[in-house]
Amino acid sequence: MFNPMWLFYILVFPGALFCFVAGTLLNGLDRKVYAKMQQRIGPPILQPFYDFMKLMGKETIIPYEANKTVFLGAPVVGFVALVTIMLLLPQFGFTAFGELNADMIVIIYLLTIPAASIIIGGAASGSPYAGVGISREMVSVISFELPLVMVLLAIGKKAGGDGVTFSMKAIADYQAANGAMICQWSMIPAALAMLLVVPCEVGCHPFDVAEAETEICEGPLVEYSGAPLGVFKLNYYVKQLVVSALFAALFLGGKGTGIVAADAAIFYGECLLVTFFSMTLIRATCARLKVEQVFKFYWTVVAGLALVSLVLAWFGL
Amino acid sequence: MMNYVEHFPALATMVLFLGAFLVTIFGGKNKTLRIFLAMAAATASFVMVLCVAKYVIIDGNIITYWLGNWTPVKDYAIGIGLEVDSLNAFFALLVTLTTYLSGWYSIKYMSRDEGGDYYYTLYLMLSGSVLGLVLTGDIFNMFVMIEIMTFACVALTAFRNWSKGALEAGFKYLVIGSLGSTCTLTGIALLYAQCHTLNMAQLSAMIAKVGITGNSTMILAFALLITGFGIKSYAVPFHFVAADAYMAAPASVSMLFSGMVNKAGVYGLIRVCYIILQTMGLGKVQTLLVAVGTVSMFVGVTMALNQHDFKRLLAFHSISQIGYVLTAIGLGTALGVAGGLYHAMNHTLFKGLLFLCAGAVYYATGRTNLNNMGGLAKKMPQTCIIFLIAAFSISGLPPFNGFVSKWMIYQAIYAKSAQSFGYLFVTVVALITSTLTLASFIKVTQSAFFGQSRPEFDDVKEVPGSMLLPMWVMAILCVFTGVAPKFVTEKLITPAVNAVMSVNKYIDTMMGAGYTEKITGSAATEISAEQITIGNWTPVMWLVLFGIVLVAFTVVAVFGKSSRGYTNNSKEQPDNKHATFFGGEMATRSTVVGSDLFWGFRHNFKGYFEKLEGIHSGVVNDYAVWAIGALAVFVMYLNAVL
Amino acid sequence: MMIQNYVCSIILLALGMYMLMVKKNLIQIVCGLGLLDYGVNLFIVSVGYNEGGTAPLYVGSELEYLAKNGAVYFVDPVPQALTLTSIVIGACVTAMALSIVIRIGQTYGTLEADQIRRLRG
Amino acid sequence: MFDNLINKSAAKSPWLFHINAGSCNGCDIELVAVLTPRYDAERLGFRLAGTPRHADIVVVTGPLTAQIKDRVLRTIEQVPEPRCIVTMGSCPASGNVFKDGYTYAGPLSKYVDVDVDIAGCAAKPETVLEGLYQAAMILEQKRKDMKNKGGQI
């Protein structure tokens, strides 16, 4: 039952190492493009990597009020959850664990774990800034959860044909047979909604109410320093990758070329595109919202878009 | 052939009542003797039910037991019968497990209260009545057990009559509970008037012959029974008293309430809907139950977000989780029932655990108000870890058990939504409810366990081992049922689901082979549920991954240690470096806690929350209006559609 | 016919529910619970009645009748047993309720349902 | 291998924490100017951090008034090692025109070891950038020293 290839999958591709390298590169490119949009030179593409390495070398201060175990354990749990999602996502024909690939519900719940790890870690640090931060983080999780669920259900209905399906594999198969999901006109509102869900899920700029560094001192991360902070930063990079990959797997699937390396390259390119459109573009053009505005925006506009798709898919369009 | 195990269902119930009796007589003065008697009764009952569970669930037998050996004469049941199939055994297992663990917990927890003998008497009576309720095969016996249960519940709710609101909660519980019992009794009387029997198996066969559609007496009886058991399971229009009672009762009793009393209501609903009246095949009845379940889910969780009392918050979560169970069993599919039963079991485990944590906090600090707590994680590290396990379980984070059952429920609802758009809506509500559950437990975590410690908590100590032991047992069970879902479904859930689905086998076993065919004209066939899939969720794989990454991190941490500074202040007084950052000010005590933590969410739902607070007015008449109104709606709806 | 019994029991049930819903005094609410009990008890007893039936006792004349005709027409004894049980339970509940009401009166200083609402929201 | 990488990274990713110790706001806007597109300090990896726990370089502006002295020192103490302290403008280094004022409690170097003084009233962005770059180099050196001391601080 245990396959030695699993070790390779978990540790190298598409597991931990790939997540690390691809995530930091993705974030570097994101920051570079962001700088270009502001007519700056911008940091080197490897900047996220330098940031991470520097943080690994810094002193780790554990505040007096903090609960040590939870404070140090939280970022690692978040990272593991993110790597797990990456392992479970189908990339064209290829999935790391073949038949064991999970379905959408697992992915929804695994996606809440990184947010939960930030929240629990922040709570464990004992700072009031973190208290405000976790409150905001939780509200933004509630905000994007509704549209995310509706988008996933719409896709499940679409891919399920007569019935419905939760299986990521069924969705990949459907796209292999019928072309990418985004080419179905009834799914375009859902794709738009998902594009807006992505930045909130990651917690990048207009929706980074939880980590607003200018008002609540980075929120949950206020007391973190050194290596745990480094892992949290890594989580942020990997989250960008994973959520874009989720979008790519849901909407930009297809036949693929049949060669794993080429497929992976195309898939990664799609992730870049998604990152550009959903994160960089919005980040460079919008100012930060207030938390209740975020909530309102997601439960009305974005959820409305997703609902349109859901109803259309329901009528078999 | 009478196996000695076949006597155990009756004995397990009786030993609890006997224990109650003996505690009253001998336990008045001697503390040790009373605890010994109570624990002996609970242990004996637990062991017997374990034997029964092995005999019934694993070996696949069905125990029928006629009290006084009054077997049916001329196909008419004349005595009280016990019939234990896998469903009964499953619930009996939950009941006795809860009783046993609560007993261990009570030893220390109740040691500060006076009147311990009354406490143990009522505790054993409550356990005995619920066990009797889930094991009996006679519907009037069931009613008697419900009444004893209500009686014991009221007395236990009002047990700490010096505490805020205990008496009030007891009275409200009594009024609404009696209303429920009256409904049940009227329903039973109507059934008896139609079928002239009280035996559940025989009733089932008779009703199958008469048919319920278009028979308004039957429909009235059905509506009354649903209301009666709905009140016992605290589904939404009846949930008001649950919140009060759970909050006012001692934590070990709150655990019994959420662990077995509302499970008794769920059991009753399953029995009534699936076996006795066999109405779950009808789409309209499914709609009714699913609607009640969905509303319970959402109202429960949003009310919980509003609370600032630890136990009241947990009480509203009980309502919400029971909403999940009702929705799942209301679907009428094998997968739905499996999810519902799994979730019922998980709810017993994690909600009991949460109540025990609330009790531990109360034991250590004397407080349950979340606004007055903070920083307990440093003082009570084990309780904190246990609480986190339970909180993640109830929020459905993998790999804990809540995730498995919630996933089965989502799959069941979503599969159903291929038929009707409404179920899609239910799926969305269920998923959002799960997130909101996480949110409100984040609130508890932040308010009670994390954040800055209070100066008045300086000499707070971890609770004693005899309280931690049952908590750890339940925590381990929470993790186990989450990590090995295949094992649990195969061994425990599937037999129970098969029992729910094979009505005719139930009837035939009780009344003698061939009875069903004689009455209804259709042969008894055992319907075995299709292979209950639990999807592609393999937690073991996830754990392997987790372990590998954790090892990698540890290696890096150990080898990188020399190149990295790492300071941890363990002194009593923090120096500036390790003090909390306050924008440069001296670190002062300032915590972010309480009911308004999720302001961004509440702000947008202001009208909804105000309305909800208005409904939970605290006036017992209003609660009665809701219950009677719901009864009226059920009667009218069922009459209109059946 | 037992129609007046059924009507009566329904009236009792309705009155009991009315008292639960409308009456604000706790003692009156307990009275309402009592009425509900009596309504159900009357209902169950009436269910067991058979037109022209005799008491369910096997003595003397019934045995002769039985020997002659092979069957005898009784009223149903089971509902009466049920009613007895139900009455006992009802009495217990009333006692319990009244004892709680007394303690509430001592603690809160009032028996008005509108003022006994410390637990709400 | 990793240690070399970490040492190099220490210089390439210095995060700033800015403390205003009673400044006239002149230096503050110059510091912001350094981060804007024209001078773009982010190309060297500089970034403003929101909390001292994340920072590598503490930039102090203003003359260090008596009221704020304790707060500044406390905040500096909360920055994890290795760290650099940079004074910006004349005020924190010399007191400038506030030197004999009754609220003056400086200079900063009286209380902590200052690594870089950036002169000017207000300091020019070019100067600031040069000063911060030197601070980043010092950071790398400090990191090496910390390593040689076996992680002891």
Q: How many domains does chain B have?
A: 1
In A208-218, which positions are buried (b, 16+ CB within 10 angstroms) versus exposed (e)? bbbbbbeebbb
The three-point CA angle B233-B488-B533 to 5° equals: 90
Per CATH, the number for D2-148 is 3.40.50.12280
Token output for D44: 């060297």
Token output for A270: 């799609």
- In chain D, which ranges are E strands? 15-20, 47-48, 57-61, 84-88, 116-118
Asked if B210 and B218 touch (Cβ cutoff 8 Å), the reply is yes
Query: Which range is least confidently modeled, A31-35, A125-129, B561-565?
Result: B561-565
Asked if A220 and A3 touch (Cβ cutoff 8 Å), the reply is no
For residue A170, the model assigns a pLDDT of 76
Do C118 and B168 count as a contact with CB atoms less than 8 A apart? yes
User: For residue A8, what are the contacts with CB-CB under 8 A and spacing of at least 6?
Assistant: none
Q: What residue in B sits closest to A58 (Cα-Cα)?
A: B564
Give yes or no for residue C62 having a pLDDT over 70: no
Q: Domain range for residue A29?
A: 4-314
User: Can you state the angle between helices A128-160 and A303-314, rounded to 10 degrees?
Assistant: 20
Do A127 and B599 count as a contact with CB atoms less than 8 A apart? no
How far D73 CA sits from the closest chain A CA (Å)? 17
Residue range C98-104: mean pLDDT, rounded: 89
- pTM of the predicted model, to two decimals? 0.88
Asked if B450 and B322 touch (Cβ cutoff 8 Å), the reply is no
3-state secondary structure of B523: coil
Q: Does B546 touch chain A (CB under 8 A)?
A: yes
Token output for A122: 């922040």
- Chain B / chain C CB contacts < 8 angstroms: 121
- In B541-642, which ranges are E strands? 566-568
Residue range A207-229: mean pLDDT, rounded: 79
How far A21 CA sits from the closest chain D CA (Å)? 15
Neighbours of chain A (3+ CB pairs under 8 A): B, D
For residue D108, the model assigns a pLDDT of 83
Query: Which range is least confidently modeled, A246-250, B586-590, D140-144?
Result: B586-590
Q: Domain range for residue B427?
A: 284-483
pLDDT in tens, B412-460: 888 787 777 788 888 888 888 888 888 888 888 888 888 777 777 777 7
Listed as ranges, residues in chain B with pLDDT below 50 are: 1, 562-564
Q: Which fold has domain C3-108?
A: Helix Hairpins (1.10.287)
Residues of C with CB under 8 A from a CB of B: 13, 16-17, 20-24, 26, 29, 33, 36-37, 40, 43-44, 47, 76, 78-79, 82, 85-86, 89, 92-93, 96-97, 100-101, 103-104, 107-108, 113-114, 116-121
Q: Does B574 touch chain D (CB under 8 A)?
A: no
d(CA B211, CA B520): 10
Measuring CA to CA, which residue among B377, B119, B130 is closest to residue B266? B130
d(CA A50, CA A25): 11
β partners of residue D17? D58
- Mean pLDDT rounded to a whole number for chain A: 80
Strand D15-20, strand D57-61: pairing: parallel
Which has more confidence, D152 or B499? B499
Do A105 and B410 count as a contact with CB atoms less than 8 A apart? yes
β partners of residue A91? A94
The amino acid that residue A198 corresponds to is V
For residue A207, the model assigns a pLDDT of 80
Cα Rg of chain D, angstroms: 15
Locate the domains of chain D by residue range.
2-148
DSSP secondary structure code for residue A39 in this structure: T
Do B179 and C20 count as a contact with CB atoms less than 8 A apart? yes
CA of residue A246 relative to chain centroid, distance? 7
User: For residue C88, what are the contacts with CB-CB under 8 A and spacing of at least 6?
Assistant: none
Asked if D144 and D8 touch (Cβ cutoff 8 Å), the reply is no
The amino acid that residue B277 corresponds to is L
Q: How many domains does chain A have?
A: 1
Confidence of residue C11 (pLDDT cuts 50, 70, 90): very high
Residue range A24-45: mean pLDDT, rounded: 86
Does a structural domain hold residue B534? no
Does a structural domain hold residue B410? yes
pLDDT in tens, A260-297: 777 777 777 877 777 787 788 888 888 888 888 888 88
Give the count of beta carbons closer than 10 Å to the beta carbon of residue C2.
15
β partners of residue D117? D87
DSSP secondary structure code for residue B587 in this structure: P
For residue B562, the model assigns a pLDDT of 43
Measuring CA to CA, which residue among A314, A237, A305 is closest to residue A55? A237
For residue B559, the model assigns a pLDDT of 53
- Virtual CA dihedral for A40, D51, A280, A112, nearest 10 degrees? 170
DSSP-derived secondary structure for B123-184:
HHHHHHHHHHHHHB-BHHHHHHHHHHHHHHHHHHHTSSTTSTTHHHHHHHHHHHHHHHHHHH
β partners of residue D86? D59, D116
Measuring CA to CA, which residue among A302, A167, A316 is closest to residue B421? A316
Provide the H-helix boundaries in B307-333. Answer: 310-330
Query: Which range is least confidently modeled, B52-56, B609-613, C104-108, D148-152?
Result: D148-152
How far D111 CA sits from the closest chain B CA (Å)? 15
Give yes or no for residue D87 having a pLDDT over 70: yes
As for the ipTM of the complex, it is: 0.84
d(CA C54, CA B602): 68
Provide the H-helix boundaries in A161-187. Answer: 168-178
Does a structural domain hold residue B459? yes
Token output for B12: 């397990």
How far B414 CA sits from the closest chain C CA (Å)? 33
